[in-house]
Amino acid sequence: MTRQIYVNGAYLAESEAVIPVMDRGFLFGDAIYEVTAMIDGRLIDNDLHLARLERSLAAIDIPMPLPLDGIREVQAELIRRNGMRDGTIYLQVSRGTAERNFLPDAGIAPNFVAFTQPRNLRDTPALRNGIAVALMPDPRWDRRDIKTSMLLGQVLAKQAAHALGFDDVWLHEDGLITEGASSTAFILTAAGAIVTRPNSHATLPGCTRQAVLRLIETRGLRFEERPFTIAEAQNAAEAFLTSASSLVQPVVRIGEQVIGDGHPGPVTRHLQELYLQAAGIRVEPVE
């Protein structure tokens, strides 16, 4: 079956789904995107992702391409047409199509594309065994809270990490971990506190982060929202990252430093289970 992709009001076979060369997302990275996970046919934290789409678009003054309910309908129709059960749904809204010029024409209409990517998200070796993350200086601009399609910094950091034999990368600035290249970074201190950075312009306000923080609060787990250093991360009892596509992902090595005993720790395991349960996913106990 060929994949059906949504482009500006039409559902098209992938080979027919094209965007004009003069699209400002293509030429300038002048576009916002979102990624929502689907597991067992359920969208995970979709309201949070759509709220962030609205916020990111407003931050760079691009109008919503459709009302929120219209976007939800596009997602549902793509899921239906592509028989999606597990994977991600990608949305991208660019400022629109206009002759190439740094200053955008007033009143151009946004280009809105959306597609599904089938993939097993919940039962992967990375979720079971944890991953190794490299450490690299954060190469990005100063509005990382806006989810733009300008991802070259992250692409190059991930490629460099892979070339060095790591699975992913955590970025740092002024001695502090900012976040993962496409995820939020968390540690568990030796004293038993779960720590993540507060939201600011320095990082993307993760939707999975928000959902996990809600769980931490409702379960009364010890939690500190503050920046943490590279050394603190490397000396942590446990570490993990969160994102729509990795859910709650154990991190078992940071740079050359093995975390704990090199296996996912009990608090990370607990949060993995809580997160799936809260999303309404049936969870089998982990051995």
Q: Is 89 in the site for ligand PDD (CB under 6 A)?
A: no
CB 189 within 8 A of CB 181: no
Of 188 and 202, nearer to ligand PDD (C-beta) is 202
Cα separation, 105 vs 95, whole angstroms: 10
With CB under 6 A as the contact rule, the residue among 56, 94, 111, 182 that binds ligand PDD is 182
Q: Is 156 in the site for ligand PDD (CB under 6 A)?
A: no
Q: Is 116 in the site for ligand PDD (CB under 6 A)?
A: no
Catalytic residue among 140, 147, 158, 172: 147
CB 30 within 8 A of CB 104: yes
Active site residue 147: yes
Q: Is 56 in the site for ligand PDD (CB under 6 A)?
A: no
Cβ neighbours around 166 below 10 Å, total = 20
Token pair, residue 194, equals 């779960």
With CB under 6 A as the contact rule, the residue among 96, 206, 250, 264 that binds ligand PDD is 206
Q: How far is the CB of 261 from ligand PDD (least distance, A)?
A: 27
- Residue 259 is given by DSSP the state P
With CB under 6 A as the contact rule, the residue among 19, 22, 27, 35 that binds ligand PDD is 35
Q: Is 172 in the site for ligand PDD (CB under 6 A)?
A: no
Parallel, antiparallel, or unpaired for β 194-196 and 184-188?
Answer: antiparallel
CB 249 within 8 A of CB 242: yes
Cα–Cα distances (Å) from 172 to 30, 116, 139, 197, in that order, read: 25, 32, 9, 12
Q: Is 244 in the site for ligand PDD (CB under 6 A)?
A: yes
Cβ neighbours around 72 below 10 Å, total = 15
Could you say which residues in the range 249-278 bind ligand PDD, by CB under 6 A? none
- Which residues here bind ligand PDD, judged by CB under 6 A? 35, 179, 182-184, 204, 206-209, 242-245
Residue numbers annotated as active site? 147
